[in-house]
Amino acid sequence: MTTGGWLLAWHDDFDGPAGSFPDPSVWTAELGGGGWGNRELQTYTDARENVALDGDGHLVICARATTTESGDVLWTSARITTSGKRTSGHGLYEVRARVPSGVGIWPAAWTLGEDIDQLGWPTCGEIDLIESVGDATTALQTVHGGHRDATHWQLGVTTAVERPLCESFHTYSAQWFPDRVVFGIDGLTTGVVSARDATGDDVWPFPGQQYLLLNVAVGGTLPGPPDASTPPVTSLVVDWVRCSVQA
């Protein structure tokens, strides 16, 4: 299918029976805790309570809090990726989703370089189609890369919205060209990050393939910790994902 100069390379509409893991030929669950480099609190699992289809054409990634007998609060969630299964060079990534909200809740749809094991992060490059924190009244869309000494730089677009993103589904997009990334929400361009914006020893990090990730983190360096107001169960609901290349 070709639309607007883009040729659909792969997609997932998350059709399937309720409670099932999304298509394993496309998705792999990343498991474990340890903070994930951001001091996050959650442990990622592949349990149906954390990641499953709902039977109505949606993927649900759910962060859950459990209180132990000693009063400690333990968080579980899920992070799934297309690494090694569905990757793309320069192209258009789109994710239609309803993000969760809550103090310390950190949903994201993003890409990483398939060469991350060889180059490491951030040299492999990262494109955040959407991140939101807190009350979900701001959309964060960001490009991450490395300096020549492999330390981190980032450039991004911050978009304030009239109504919280958690109230409805929105389509988040990133058009990835050799020299720029064009971000959008619901078909409207929110901003552009260009290789020309990189300065000094910034290295534009996108020569190779990228893969897609979907997750809900809890706590960490961006949102800060959850508090008593944070919902004990909160979900990222994904309607579909699409990856297209130039026709």
* End-to-end Cα distance, the chain: 10
> What pLDDT score was predicted for residue 2?
53
Q: Locate 232 and state its tokens.
A: 């004990």
Q: How does the average pLDDT of the chain come out, rounded?
A: 95
Rounded to an integer, the average pLDDT of 10-27 is 98
- Count of domains observed in the chain: 1
Tell me if residue 126 is catalytic: yes
> What pLDDT score was predicted for residue 206?
80
> What pLDDT score was predicted for residue 223?
97
Q: How far is CA 86 from CA 16, 116, 213, in A?
A: 19, 15, 11
> What pLDDT score was predicted for residue 82?
98
DSSP assignment letter at 119: H
Q: Which residue has the tokens 């949903």?
A: 107
> What pLDDT score was predicted for residue 1?
57
Q: How far is CA 5 from CA 1, 2, 63, 91, in A?
A: 10, 6, 37, 11
pLDDT single digits (tens) 162-185: 999 999 999 999 999 999 999 999
Confidence band of 208 (pLDDT split at 50, 70, 90): confident
Of 66, 191, 44, the closest CA to residue 130 belongs to 191
> By the 8 A CB rule, do 143 and 196 touch?
no
Rounded to an integer, the average pLDDT of 51-57 is 98
Tell me if residue 131 is catalytic: yes
pTM, whole model, 2 decimals?
A: 0.96
Task: Give me the percent of the chain exceeding a pLDDT of 90.
Answer: 91
Of 166, 153, 171, 182, the closest CA to residue 216 belongs to 166
Of 114, 125, 111, 142, the closest CA to residue 212 belongs to 111
Q: Given a cut of 90, is residue 38 above it in pLDDT?
A: yes
Q: Which of 40, 114, 131, 162 is catalytic?
A: 131
- Domain that includes residue 171, residue range: 2-246
pLDDT single digits (tens) 70-128: 989 999 999 999 999 999 989 999 999 999 999 999 999 999 999 999 999 999 999 99
> By the 8 A CB rule, do 78 and 50 touch?
yes
> What pLDDT score was predicted for residue 70?
93
Q: Given a cut of 70, is residue 3 above it in pLDDT?
A: no
Q: Which of 69, 126, 162, 167 is catalytic?
A: 126
d(CA 211, CA 157): 21
> By the 8 A CB rule, do 98 and 195 touch?
no
DSSP assignment letter at 150: S
> What pLDDT score was predicted for residue 205?
87
Q: Given a cut of 60, is residue 204 above it in pLDDT?
A: yes
Q: Given a cut of 90, is residue 44 above it in pLDDT?
A: yes
CATH classification of the domain holding 168: 2.60.120.200
